[in-house]
Chain A
Amino acid sequence: MVDLSGVLEQLKSRFGERSWDYSEFHKNQRLVVAADQCFSVLEFLKKTCGFDMLIDVTCVDYLHYRGAKDRFGLVYIVLNTVTGQRLIVRAFLNEPELKIPSVVPLWEGANWLEREVFDMYGIEFTGHPDLRRILLPDEFVGFPLRKDYPLRGRGERHNFERITRGEG
């Protein structure tokens, strides 16, 4: 676990004392920020603190989760390839405001990662250059990794014509 105190000092001087929440768990260093501040924190981390690599963008649905106050938790994992510092930045979103600024202007690699989150959870990344479904077919309706989506789907897997021997 690489020390992050310098980064936390920089964040404190830039964003104030209590605008974010830092915690550690099993050697994971985590930073929870407000959704409207998420982009500016990530921009600051990249341009000032040297977190030059975006490892992953993903999302968690906390519907029915014990003790959860928010519905969706976005997760950004960033890495400083010079110092080896690694930071998990999280932001929470609630319906109906499922919008967050895209980080494609900061890391080009966020393009497909954000498309996948949009595909599976329906979170809209404003400013994304090409926000389409990436894995599921374009005509698919719904967001299957949401907890209120039925496991066996809504009949998509059986919505095809049957080919008989006579047609073949």
Chain B
Amino acid sequence: MEIEVPENVALTKLDWLASWCRKNSLWPMPFATACCGIELMATGASRHDVARFGAEVFRFSPRQCDLMIVAGRVVMKMLPVLQRIWLQMPEPKWCISMGACASTGGIFDTYSVVQGIDRFIPVDMYVPGCPPRPEQLIQAIIDLQDKIQREGSFLGNEFITDARQQPKRALQELELGQLPRSLPIIGGKA
């Protein structure tokens, strides 16, 4: 069967179209708690200009955002706030863990710093660096755009698969005696 299509009309799939719209209008929620936040601001400023990728509209209300950028270390007192803000963001939403501290705790292996936010909220992209340069954050946004285009769906079905419900890492907190390598104790025996 042949259908007559008028000029200036394109045919596509609804999933593809919705993902195309979403990926080119990511509105970031800047959850900036440390020096990564400075690089995040530089990414938004004119030299690096994240507006070229459609993500320049930083909103300070989670209800208007669909991309959470966690930039900096998150301590145990801050984590309930982070989780509440994540839950307040409307679907569909994504999360970028920016920098070593947000991804793993970084150098802050202490009693109060959460060792990677992916233990407690879903994370789509990790940006290495301490802090990462704006180019690295922009690369993460581009990769996230590719991911949204590749697997996004109109109804958000990609978020409710079993694989997406699993934690990213099966890391268990090691007991102090079971550390993989013995750490030197400063000043002799403890």
Contact = CB atoms under 8 A, between A and B. Distances in A.
Given A162-B120, A163-B83, A156 B112 contact: yes
Contact of B165 (A64, A151, A164): A164
Nearest to B110: A151
B112 A163 contact: no
Q: DSSP majority for the B interface?
A: loop
Interface residues of B, number: 30
Interface in A123-163: 136-137, 144, 149-163
Nearest to B76: A157
B77 A64 contact: no
Interface residues of A, number: 24
Interface stretch (B16-24, B46-54, B85-93, B140-148): B85-93
Given A158-B115, A158-B173, A165 B159 contact: yes
Contacts of B114: 157-158, 160
Given A152-B176, A161-B120, A166 B160 contact: yes
Contact of A162 (B110, B115, B119, B164): B119
Nearest to B75: A157
Contact of A137 (B77, B83, B113, B160): B77
A168 B93 contact: yes
Contacts of B115: 157-158
Contacts of A156: 76, 111-112
